[in-house]
Structure 1
């Protein structure tokens, strides 16, 4: 069976625009930096162009180093617009209410961004709703700005629809309070909680019910149909093995590895049925798990600056030593040797 290589993910080049706008607002010309990353005008205007997540994180880190503003992600979020999320953003901009706009933007996230770690989600109850961005821990100078820009961006984009600023009722951030923690306060009408269990913001029912004056019912329905069709095309998978590979990302975390029973529950299949169907495809769960771990390990070592202990955590190993032994078995090299070779080759 031919196996597709696992990638960490990518996102629309539209996300580069608020980064450039934020640098410009802070007094820095973004063009030399963007050109260094191959993001010339032709690339930025290419329909459907995507940027790998590791490259985006390196770009963000370089932008922060250029302007000296560690809270650059918050500036980016405030300058972001729904259209930068492509078809999903344009569709959200036609929703009848802010709540439907938020639901639409997060539901169709795979159209403009894909991350092996998970997908953002919208959870509504009688008093309001949570907008959740999945965990991308462990956090460092390369990825905190991603959380900042997404959460601040959701509020700015919804505020643009409402024609007035929108604040979160509650704001929870997974990492510890950074040096620029006071900059978050304008996003929330209460204390911001750092070192929380996840990255999420809460909007109250009154905010969700705010009408979108630009809403056109027929255009809204037409755009929804286009989004559904494109989502079905993008999420189409060839077989059970590939479905399992897509499931493993969020499950591989925290020093533990998922087992066959856990995956079977997510697929709503009896364990014996899952084992039999995989055998019919010519593979086993253990093979899929090892192949996925190996591909992700190579990508993390090659494309990020994560320490090997952090990579071990992300791949569900009990210790850095267990990860290093497994990687040596897979590749014949230690993680350090593999990273040095990739740096020399690059």
Structure 2
């Protein structure tokens, strides 16, 4: 199981933000083997670890710690793929928020979780899952998502006052003053989640670009594409995807995984048995595969990886990793660390 991947439209967005900041991203794109052909491919994807390393390279080269915020400002519905176009044609802000989150899988997949729209005491909450622990490689990811959502809502409503506050899970970064330039509302750092909290009155507001016929046509397309993605997964893979977000400082139970799959535990057990697996096998294999990805493709410490995978200590994780791979994690990282970009027809390493 990989950590996840994204449409290359996010790379195009990053390059646009760098260019609008007065710099040329061409050389860094070349270093990551990305050219106009790959960026124009509708099926091309980039691994999340590789995307984060590229963002870090851009930030370091051009001294743009607020790159993620700039990316969000450059965002547009078309950059969000089918989900963005569907949301742009929705009737109201509530429906637009649902479209952006419910069809997110069509442009990105992350083993850590998925974005969600909900209501709390009448207010709308668009939340982005936790990708802690935070470091120089992933702050910009949260910034870009929150800023992108804010930009999108401003575009489709014609207003900048829909958001009551921004909640950011990580502590205030060195560039905290930049947030005031991007968000005309309270920004709360060190929060329990990453989210935009919308005023209650904002949810029924009419979307300026609404079009009922276009919305209906795009929703049919989006539903078909989402079903195609899901049908391409075995039940084992669906279970792995349910396990991933739950592996955050704990070892998930069959009951917890079944709840995420909206199934009874016995149904999950039976369907896995039909494919020749047990729940414990899938759980162990998911931890192993994610462990390999974390060690190979990220800069997380072994202690952080141990926590993310539900191990009681870094020592316990190291023992398990050596049992799985025959190699200590430090040595494995030194030997294999790399990322990848793929298309629907092939996957290549670089």
TM-score of the pair, normalised by structure 1: 0.92
Once the two structures are superposed, residues 34-56 of structure 1 have per-residue CA deviations (whole angstroms, 9 ceiling, x without a partner) of 12112211111112221111111
Match of 1:133 among 128, 135, 153: 128
Q: Which residue of 2 aligns with 1:312?
A: 306
Deviation of the 1:213 alpha carbon: 2.6
Q: Distance in 2 between matches of 1:281 and 1:48?
A: 29
Where 1:233 maps in the other structure, the secondary structure is helix
The yes-or-no answer on 1:28 pairing with 2:50 is no
CA RMSD of aligned residues (A): 2.0
2:162–2:199 contact (8 Å) kept in structure 1 = no
Distance 1:65 1:238, change over 3 A: closer
Deviation of the 1:304 alpha carbon: 1.1
1:185-200 pair list within 5 angstroms: 185-200=180-195
Deviation of the 1:177 alpha carbon: 0.8
The aligned length equals 340
1:1-346 pair list within 5 angstroms: 6-125=1-120, 127-166=122-161, 168-236=163-231, 238-254=233-249, 256-267=250-261, 269=263, 271=265, 274-343=268-337
Q: Distance in 1 between matches of 2:95 and 2:261?
A: 28
TM-score of the pair, normalised by structure 2: 0.91
Deviation of the 1:276 alpha carbon: 4.6
Q: Distance in 2 between matches of 1:7 and 1:90?
A: 28
Once the two structures are superposed, residues 116-173 of structure 1 have per-residue CA deviations (whole angstroms, 9 ceiling, x without a partner) of 1111010035632000000101100001100000000001012112234355202111
Moved more, 258-267 or 197-206: 258-267
Runs (5+) with no aligned partner, structure 1: 1-5
2:160–2:184 contact (8 Å) kept in structure 1 = no
Distance 1:41 1:264, change over 3 A: closer
Where 1:131 maps in the other structure, the secondary structure is strand
Deviation of the 1:267 alpha carbon: 4.2
Distance 1:215 1:295, change over 3 A: same
Deviation of the 1:265 alpha carbon: 4.0
1:12–1:85 contact (8 Å) kept in structure 2 = no
Where 1:235 maps in the other structure, the secondary structure is helix
Where 2:135 maps in the other structure, the secondary structure is coil
Q: Distance in 2 between matches of 1:206 and 1:247?
A: 34
